[in-house]
Amino acid sequence: MSDQVSAVADRSTIRLALVVGGLVLAVLLGFGLGRLNGGGTGGTATAGVSSSTGGHTHPPGTGVHDHGAVTSTDGQAGAEAGGLSVSSSGYTFAPLATEFPAGQPGQLRFQVRDAQSRPVTRFAVVHDKPMHLIVVRRDLTGYQHLHPTMAPDGTWSVPLTLAQPGVWRAYADFTAVADDGGQAAVTVGVDLVAPGGYQPRPLPKPATSTTVDGFTVSYQGSPQAGATVPLTFRVDGAGGVAALERYLGAYGHLVALREGDLGYLHVHPELELVDGQVKFWLTVPDPGRYRLYLDFQVGANVHTAEFTLTIP
Ligand SMILES: [Cu+2]
């Protein structure tokens, strides 16, 4: 009898040991994956580690641009594109619904969940907002840059209309604050669907100048694969160079999306205007075609200029 009890106890002990061992392994693996996601791109955007450079590289000899007091919103570093995964650095983009009738006003609701599947409720304010949401159709049309609001339970919501049928990509770009106060800059992406006949539009030809809402927007600079190069944007209105205003703490916000996989590059400008122009540092990882989206503000209105960029 005592042998049986002892045997049972031994089995329980073994089971317990296995469970504990498994948990430790899971935690180590999770941490390792987090490190790979954040650190594999050369960044330090792992929970508990805060990087003053925002987890991406700046070219030698150039000043850092504005990331405020926290890590950048990029979620990736150096030459790697982000937003390709629904989970990164232990954080998961969890939409409550992903289907939207085309052309009808709807509401996107989602949570950011941590490695324990708990909704995250603490976010650092980066560029004036705790959450930046980018939505674009798979053919790179219909770009939207939105700022959802969060309920106390960690559920974010924002009005959203997917104008045309197709598969759309949504990127959540945020800096989560962990229980220990550590901050992780993350970009995660998920597909949304507007059912119906998808008629993809070809990417417009590469150009360094475009018009939007009566403004002519042009840029100078020669992006190259694997290099960080300056891009300087100039906005002209009816009366010459337009007076750019700060929007979300900067004179402009530039997002670059890669054709093919919609890899996400988020770049930020120098703090101050240079001759009335807004200057960015852009690191493009690989040859290919990209669509650039520049948000800028003039006369209290925000406009978005779009460019196709080919990297040879
Ligand atoms: Cu934003």
293 Cα to the center of ligand 1, angstroms? 12
Q: pLDDT, tens digit, for every residue of 139-167?
A: 999 999 999 999 999 999 999 999 999 99
Q: How confident is the model at residue 79 (pLDDT cuts 50, 70, 90)?
A: low
Q: Is 73 exposed, middle or buried (CB count within 10 Å of its CB: 0-12, 13-18, 19+)? A: buried
Q: By the 8 A CB rule, do 167 and 192 touch?
A: yes
Compute φ and ψ for 35, nearest 5 degrees. -65, -40
Distance 295 CA to ligand 1 centre (A): 9
Does residue 30 surpass a pLDDT of 50? no
- Distance (angstroms) between ligand 1 centre and the Cα of 186 equals 13
Instruction: Work out the pLDDT band at 59, boundaries 50, 70, 90.
Output: very low
User: Which pairs from 117-122 meet CB under 8 Å and 24+ separation?
Assistant: 117/92, 119/153, 119/154, 119/155, 120/91, 120/154, 120/176, 121/150, 121/152, 121/153, 121/154, 122/176, 122/177, 122/178
How many angstroms separate the alpha carbon of residue 285 from the centre of ligand 1? 23
SS3 call for 21: helix
What letter represents residue 223's amino acid? Answer: P
pLDDT beyond 90 at 257:
yes
What's the gap in Å between 61 CA and the centre of ligand 1? 28
Give burial (CB, 10 Å; 0-12/13-18/19+) of 198. middle
Q: What is the value of pTM for the model shown?
A: 0.75
Classify residue 210 by burial, with Cβ atoms within 10 Å: 0-12, 13-18, 19+.
middle
262 vs 282: CA distance, rounded Å: 16
